Structure 1
Amino acid sequence: MFDKSQYELIDFGQGRRLDRFGSYVLDRPCQVAKGLPRGNDAAWTDADAVYTGANSGEGNWRSSAGLPLSWTIAHNGSTFELKLTDFGHVGLFPEHAVNWDWITHQVRSAGQTLKVLNLFAYTGGATIAAVAGGAEVVHVDAAQNAVLWARRNTQASDMANAPIRWITEDVRKFVQREIRRGNKYHGVVLDPPSYGHGPKGEVWKLDEHLPSLLEMCAELTVADRRFVLLSCHTTGIEPADLERMLRDSMGGLRNGVMESGGLALQTIDGRQMPAGIATRWAVNR
């Protein structure tokens, strides 16, 4: 998890969330906070930026004069660039930090250099975590701006020369080509969106395409699979659903430890805000 000096969920409720990233407090829409009461009304007056409108690229930020165009926060020796985006995000989802720490542990304790495939890799949190453990990483995302952002994060984290292969491409097309090439991986990380498009207009729908993608990932890792991490924020999918899909696609995954559950962030006063789900598997050592 993030150190409290770097990130903190201050409050949530009435369809919004109040987060502090480093020195700056942001007030944003939050689907899971709809219909819930706020815990600390007074705290909301301290926001440095407020996102209004639909959380789909159609809204806008209203920020104070003191908020920079970009700033950074740190986690376990790595540095992440943050900035306000048109979608109401900042380039980092703090609930994933617990999984980044898990990835670093899996790689570091493997006893050999692992090759890791990071799909829907966004701004590179999982990529940096794998590299920190000593892995070679292939980072794949359909959005060029996200890949460039991830590269800046590795540079800020003193990983500019790390063994990372950067790919801007439709995830399914890339995985299919890797299979044809006979390439193999020890670990796979996936954080797929509910819906999206590839750089050439390829359509991604999680409910339609995730099972077949997992089957292809199983083929890429069948020779020496060490870990798999699958997370998502799709409404209506439960941790048990993710676990079932993962087991069905990868032959049951019986020779390891599977963990599934909800991701969450905790406020200063101890309230839990749901923030997606994840299932992860690691081979018995």
Structure 2
Amino acid sequence: MSKQYRKKRGERARPRNRTAKSQPAGFRSTDAVQHDPAAGDGVVVNGYSERWLRRGFPWVYREEVVGRTGRFAPGHVVSIRSRDGAVLGTGIWDNAHVEVRRFRNDIGPVGSQLLSKRVAAAKNRRPLDADTTAWRWVHGENDELPGVRADMWGDHLGVCLDSPSLVPLLEPLLQAFADHASDLKSVWLSYRISDGDASRFEGLPSGLVWGEAADAPIEVLERGIKVAVEPWLGHDVGLYCDMRELRAWMEPHWRGKRVLNTFAHTGMFSVVAAKHGAREVVSVDLSERYLARARANFELNRIDTSRHIFDSRDTFKVLDARRRRGDQFDVVIADPPSFSHSKDGRWSAKTDFPRLVAASLRVLAPGGWLIVASNQGKVSPKEFLQQIQQGAHKARRPLRLLHEASTPVDFPAALDFPESRYLKAWVLAG
């Protein structure tokens, strides 16, 4: 299977627009659409929602709203109150399952001053080295900007919104980013679109919304390793920065190893392994386009590609063929997409992950390491463990946990927002 159809936490890119703009355009400012929360326009929530809001949870679900005062549409700024009238905050209203995203705990505007302060604070919380130029500037709810994610790719910014209701914030948001990044060259906009929800995003601005379009892939750094990215592809930029901590932890352990990287995507794990002394790296992905990008990343880092293999066959076919040949690898990487499909079939991490673990273990050398990862927030660590155990039992290979990776500093996880702790990335010894 390929990561070509990968759905990263439900995120999909809008069609690419390569027309350069000198300033944000095509959407209304916040002030043009907001109601006055101080006048009483807002929602009343039940006791369960009130308890979670008081703890710091930033969402109000539709079923938790027991009353509405005023008439408003998606994008309006509304107050949030308890049944007894206590103020619980101010947020952006949406006609969706998440009805309100709370931006502040009191009653007040959600505009330029607030957004600029939050954007600046988010940047100050990210003490990244100069040898890393690909990083997440805003991580949504965890940076008090619910529904907003922003990634820096060198001098280029990619912004992703979870809901059309957040579009009215674009003008002050983009101004805030520009104010705190003087060398910004372009801003690309995409949306996180769930299945069956695409119609809500029709007609919204997307693609290039500020600056000039790049003529070629942009070269960025992760801990000194070069990688080519394409911000105009939305979620398919070419690098998943949330795996940086695991790649960093593995750096001292690659030398002399024979590595199999399944679902290799654009090959970042493969490049890091080869750059840090791996004897041979086999990168497998059904997408020839991804493997071409992986090969280009090898060449960017002056790695001799003739010493390594790029295989565009189905992962399970490769694993079976390698097993039949008696091949064994010191490290096997299994970081599959949540869901994908191809002419060879469908892949679902929920049902197929144990089979992938078993097949990977059958080509893992005794004492070798299996790296497994899942970005599915709906899969709990307990369920993830059970999936791995099922695969290990099927392959009759006992496993030991060596390292449990966390997200890096630019992917913080608010303690009162459980949804932020989505990543499971383990190094297992077999």
Same fold (TM over 0.5): yes
Which residue is equivalent to 2:363?
Answer: 220
- 1:142-157 counterparts in 2 under 5 A? 142-157=286-301
Distance 2:362 2:383 in 1: 21
- Which amino acid is the alignment partner of residue 177 of structure 1? A
Task: Give the C-alpha shift of residue 53 in structure 1.
Answer: 4.5
C-alpha offsets along residues 229-284 of structure 1, whole Å, 9 cap, x if unaligned?
11121231123333333344333314xx43336535527xx77665622122247x
Which residue is equivalent to 2:187?
Answer: 49
Which residue is equivalent to 1:243?
Answer: 385
Distance 2:162 2:272 in 1: 27
- Which amino acid is the alignment partner of residue 131 of structure 1? A
Residue from 130, 136, 148 that aligns with 1:16: 148
Structure scoring higher RCO (CA < 8 A, sep ≥ 6) equals 2
Which residue is equivalent to 1:79?
Answer: 226
Distance 1:16 1:238 in 2: 24
- 1:84-163 counterparts in 2 under 5 A? 84-108=231-255, 113-135=256-278, 136-161=280-305, 163=307
- Which amino acid is the alignment partner of residue 281 of structure 1? L
- 1:246-265 counterparts in 2 under 5 A? 246-250=388-392, 251-254=397-400, 257-260=401-404, 262-265=406-409
Q: Where in structure 1 are there 5+ consecutive unaligned residues?
A: none
> Is contact 1:18-1:44 (8 Å) kept?
no
> Is contact 2:376-2:422 (8 Å) kept?
no
Task: Give the C-alpha shift of residue 124 in structure 1.
Answer: 0.7
Q: Aligned in 2, Cα 1:271/1:204: closer, same or farther, shift over 3 Å?
A: closer
C-alpha offsets along residues 133-154 of structure 1, whole Å, 9 cap, x if unaligned?
2211110011111110011001
Task: Give the C-alpha shift of residue 197 in structure 1.
Answer: 2.0
Q: Indicate yes or no: 2:160 matched with 1:28.
A: yes
Structure 1 window deviating more from structure 2 (149-158 vs 225-234): it is 225-234
Residue from 186, 193, 197 that aligns with 2:341: 197
Distance 1:26 1:148 in 2: 23
Which residue is equivalent to 1:171?
Answer: 315
Q: Aligned in 2, Cα 1:145/1:15: closer, same or farther, shift over 3 Å?
A: same
Which residue is equivalent to 1:230?
Answer: 372
Which residue is equivalent to 2:20?
Answer: none
Q: What percentage of residue pairs aligned between the two structures are identical?
A: 20
Q: Aligned in 2, Cα 1:76/1:88: closer, same or farther, shift over 3 Å?
A: closer
Q: Indicate yes or no: 2:161 matched with 1:3.
A: no
Would you tell me which structure has more helix in proportion to its own residues?
Answer: 2
- Which amino acid is the alignment partner of residue 363 of structure 2? L
Which residue is equivalent to 2:423?
Answer: 276
Distance 2:191 2:308 in 1: 37
Q: Where in structure 2 are there 5+ consecutive unaligned residues?
A: 1-126, 415-419
Task: Give the C-alpha shift of residue 6 in structure 1.
Answer: 0.7
Structure 1 window deviating more from structure 2 (185-194 vs 258-267): it is 258-267
Q: Aligned in 2, Cα 1:30/1:117: closer, same or farther, shift over 3 Å?
A: farther
Which residue is equivalent to 2:349?
Answer: 206
C-alpha offsets along residues 118-164 of structure 1, whole Å, 9 cap, x if unaligned?
01110111001111222111100111111100110010011133621
CA RMSD of superposed structures (Å):
3.1
C-alpha offsets along residues 92-140 of structure 1, whole Å, 9 cap, x if unaligned?
11111111122322223xxxx2111101110111001111222111100
> Is contact 1:185-1:224 (8 Å) kept?
no
Q: Aligned in 2, Cα 1:155/1:30: closer, same or farther, shift over 3 Å?
A: farther
Higher Cα Rg, which structure: 2
- Which amino acid is the alignment partner of residue 221 of structure 2? A
> Is contact 2:262-2:315 (8 Å) kept?
yes
Q: Aligned in 2, Cα 1:242/1:280: closer, same or farther, shift over 3 Å?
A: farther
Q: TM-score, normalised by structure 1?
A: 0.81
Would you tell me which structure has more strand in proportion to its own residues?
Answer: 1
Q: TM-score, normalised by structure 2?
A: 0.55
